C-alpha cells in the first residue's frame, strides 16, 4: 500500500471519520486533490482496510464551458472504471450569485453543498467526503485572520462537520498538496487543471499564490504544518468551550424555535468572554446561519451591546438579527414571524402572578372535601387540578422550547410537545409550560400531565386557573 494511502487511513482512524458499514459519497471535482481522494478511498475499500460502500458525485458549476464538461466526463469515466455508482448535477452558480448578491465562490459553495446533500438521499448516504488538505487549512486560517477571527476560527477546517442529518468529512486533511501531487504522479491518476485557480483577484487564490509563499519564505519551518498544529490546539479549546456552553445552554435558553432563540441575559452576563461567544455562536448556528460569514467583529459588537446594559440590535450575516432587551438576548431570522417569551418566573402554590400578559392564579384545596367527578363535569376549560404531593420542588412558568416532552393526560408514554400539538390539532402559539424541578406538569392551558393525575389517594389539590392573554 502506498504511503499516501497509509497516511489517509491513519487520519481516518484517528479522527473516527468512517463507522463500520458506512455509505460514503465522494465529492469529486476532477482536480488532483479530489481524484487522489477517489483513488485512495477506492484502494482502502478494495483492500478491506475499511468496511464501506463508496459512491461518486460530480457537481458541474457551468462556469468554464466545455472544460467543465470535460471534467465531468473524466470523473464519470473513472467511476465506471472502478465500478462505483455515480451521480452528476449541474448548478447555475452565476445567476444564483447575481440574484442573491453573493460572490461566485460563496454561491458555488452553497449550491454545491446542497447538491451533494440531495445526491446522498438518492444513494442512502449519511457521509459526504471532500478533498480538503493541509494547504487548504493554511489558506483558511490566513483568510480568517485577514478578515478577523477568534479562537474558533483558528481551528481551521474541521475533520468532520455536521450539516443537518449529514456529516461532511475531510479524509485528506492530514496530507499536504505536495503529497497529493506526488501520489497522483506515482499512481498515474488522471486529473484536470482548473485555470480559474490561477486568478489572484480571487481572495483565496491570492492567499495561495502570493501571500502564503511570501510568509513561507520568512518562516523557519513548514508553514502549513505549523498552521495545522495551531488548528489542532484551537480545535481542542473550541471543543472544551462547546462542552461547557452546552451545560450553560440548559439554563440560558428561554425560547427555541426554527426562527427564534432567546437567551437569559442574567445568565450570560457573568460568563467569561469566550463562553459568551460560544453560547451566542450556538444560538446563531442553531437557526441555520452559516459560520463562514461570521467574524469576530459580529461577536465584538454583541458583547459591547451586552455589557452596555442598554437595549439594542445588530445585524448578523444573512437574514438574521441579534436583539438585546432588559432580560433577554434574542437571535431571530428577519422576516419570519416569531414568538418571544419573557424570562421564566417562579410560581408558588396558593399565589397568583401575571406573566406575558396572562394571569395564573392558584389555590391549594383539601382533597377530602372535593367532588372530583362534579369538578370534571362542570369545570371551566382554563381551570385544572393537580395532585400537589406529586409536584417536586419549585414550580416554574416558561415559554416552549424545541425538544420539550411530557406525558399528556390519559397517555402512557412521553410525547414531544410539538408533535402532540400537531397531532391533536391544538393551538400552538399561545401555549406555554408550567413545570416542577423534574418534569412538565402542564402544557397550559391545553393539557395536563398524566404524572400528576388526581387519584383516590390524593390528599392535597393544586388548582391552577389561567386567564386569557390581554390584548
As given in the structure block, the three cell numbers for residue 314 are 445588530
In this predicted structure, what is the pLDDT of residue 11? 97
Taking alpha carbons only, the member of 408, 410, 409 closest to residue 419 is 408
In this predicted structure, what is the pLDDT of residue 341? 66
Cβ(281)–Cβ(359) under 8 Å? no
pLDDT tens sequence for the chain (471 residues): 899 999 999 999 999 999 999 999 999 999 999 999 999 999 999 888 888 999 999 999 988 889 999 999 999 999 999 999 999 999 988 888 887 777 888 888 888 998 999 999 999 999 999 999 999 999 999 998 887 788 888 999 999 998 878 999 999 999 999 999 999 999 999 999 888 888 888 888 899 999 999 999 999 999 999 999 999 999 999 999 999 999 999 889 988 887 889 999 999 999 999 999 999 999 888 887 767 667 788 888 999 999 988 888 888 876 788 888 888 898 888 654 445 567 688 999 999 998 888 899 999 999 988 888 888 888 887 899 999 999 999 999 988 876 688 999 989 888 888 778 877 765 555 688 999 999 999 999 888 999 999 998 999 999 999 986 544
CA-CA-CA-CA torsion sign (210, 215, 220, 222): negative
Cβ(88)–Cβ(59) under 8 Å? yes
In this predicted structure, what is the pLDDT of residue 402? 63
What domains does the chain contain, in order, with CATH numbers?
3-133+170-218 (3.40.50.620), 228-333 (3.30.465.60), 345-466 (3.50.40.10)
In this predicted structure, what is the pLDDT of residue 382? 84
Pairing, β 253-256 against β 260-264: antiparallel
Taking alpha carbons only, the member of 344, 307, 301, 297 closest to residue 440 is 344
- CA-CA distance, 61 to 72, in Å (whole number)? 10
Q: What is the pTM of this model?
A: 0.66
In this predicted structure, what is the pLDDT of residue 468? 65
In this predicted structure, what is the pLDDT of residue 471? 40
- CA-CA distance, 139 to 145, in Å (whole number)? 10
Amino acid at each position: 500500500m502506498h504511503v499516501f494511502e497509509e497516511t489517509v487511513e491513519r487520519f481516518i482512524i484517528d479522527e473516527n471519520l468512517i463507522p463500520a458499514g458506512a455509505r460514503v459519497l465522494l465529492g469529486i471535482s476532477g482536480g488532483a486533490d479530489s481524484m487522489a481522494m477517489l483513488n485512495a478511498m477506492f484502494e482502502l475499500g478494495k483492500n478491506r482496510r475499511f468496511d464501506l460502500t463508496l459512491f461518486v458525485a460530480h457537481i458541474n458549476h457551468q462556469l468554464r464551458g466545455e472544460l467543465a464538461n470535460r471534467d465531468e466526463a473524466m470523473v464519470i469515466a473513472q467511476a465506471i472504471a472502478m465500478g462505483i455508482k455515480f451521480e452528476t448535477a449541474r448548478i447555475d452558480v452565476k445567476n444564483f450569485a447575481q440574484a442573491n448578491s453573493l460572490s461566485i465562490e460563496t454561491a458555488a459553495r452553497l449550491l454545491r453543498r446542497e447538491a451533494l446533500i440531495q445526491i446522498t438521499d438518492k444513494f442512502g448516504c449519511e457521509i459526504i467526503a471532500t478533498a480538503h488538505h493541509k494547504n487548504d487549512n493554511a489558506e483558511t486560517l490566513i483568510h480568517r485572520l485577514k478578515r478577523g477571527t477568534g479562537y474558533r476560527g483558528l481551528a481551521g477546517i474541521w475533520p468532520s462537520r455536521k450539516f443537518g442529518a449529514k456529516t461532511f468529512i475531510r479524509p485528506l486533511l492530514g496530507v499536504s498538496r505536495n503529497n497529493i501531487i506526488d501520489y497522483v504522479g506515482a499512481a498515474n491518476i488522471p486529473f484536470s487543471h482548473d485555470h480559474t485557480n490561477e486568478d489572484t483577484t480571487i481572495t483565496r487564490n491570492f492567499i495561495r499564490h502570493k501571500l502564503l509563499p511570501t510568509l513561507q519564505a520568512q518562516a523557519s519551518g513548514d508553514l502549513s504544518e505549523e498552521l495545522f498544529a495551531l488548528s489542532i490546539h484551537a480545535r481542542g479549546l473550541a471543543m472544551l468551550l462547546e462542552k461547557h456552553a452546552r451545560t450553560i445552554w440548559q439554563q440560558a435558553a428561554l425560547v427555541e424555535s426554527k426562527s427564534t432563540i432567546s437567551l437569559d441575559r442574567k445568565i450570560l452576563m457573568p460568563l467569561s468572554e469566550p463562553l459568551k461567544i460560544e453560547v451566542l455562536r450556538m444560538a446563531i448556528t442553531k437557526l441555520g446561519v452559516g459560520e463562514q460569514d461570521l467574524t469576530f467583529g459580529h461577536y465584538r459588537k454583541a458583547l459591547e451591546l451586552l455589557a452596555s446594559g442598554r437595549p439594542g440590535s445588530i445585524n448578523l450575516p444573512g437574514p438574521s438579527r441579534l436583539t438585546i432587551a432588559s432580560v433577554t438576548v434574542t437571535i431571530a431570522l428577519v422576516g419570519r414571524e416569531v414568538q418571544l417569551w419573557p424570562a421564566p418566573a417562579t410560581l408558588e402554590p396558593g399565589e397568583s402572578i401575571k406573566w406575558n400578559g396572562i394571569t395564573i392564579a392558584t389555590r391549594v384545596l383539601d382533597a377530602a372535601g372535593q367532588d372530583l367527578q362534579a369538578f370534571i363535569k362542570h369545570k371551566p376549560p382554563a381551570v385544572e387540578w393537580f395532585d400537589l404531593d406529586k409536584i417536586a420542588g419549585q414550580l416554574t412558568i416558561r415559554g416552549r422550547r424545541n425538544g420539550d416532552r411530557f406525558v399528556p393526560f390519559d397517555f402512557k408514554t412521553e410525547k414531544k410537545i410539538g408533535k402532540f400539538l400537531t397531532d391533536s390539532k391544538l393551538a400552538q402559539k399561545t401555549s406555554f409550560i408550567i413545570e416542577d424541578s423534574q418534569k412538565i406538569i402542564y402544557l397550559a392551558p391545553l393539557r395536563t400531565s398524566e404524572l400528576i393525575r388526581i387519584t383516590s389517594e390524593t390528599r392535597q389539590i393544586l388548582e391552577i386557573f389561567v386567564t386569557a392573554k390581554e390584548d
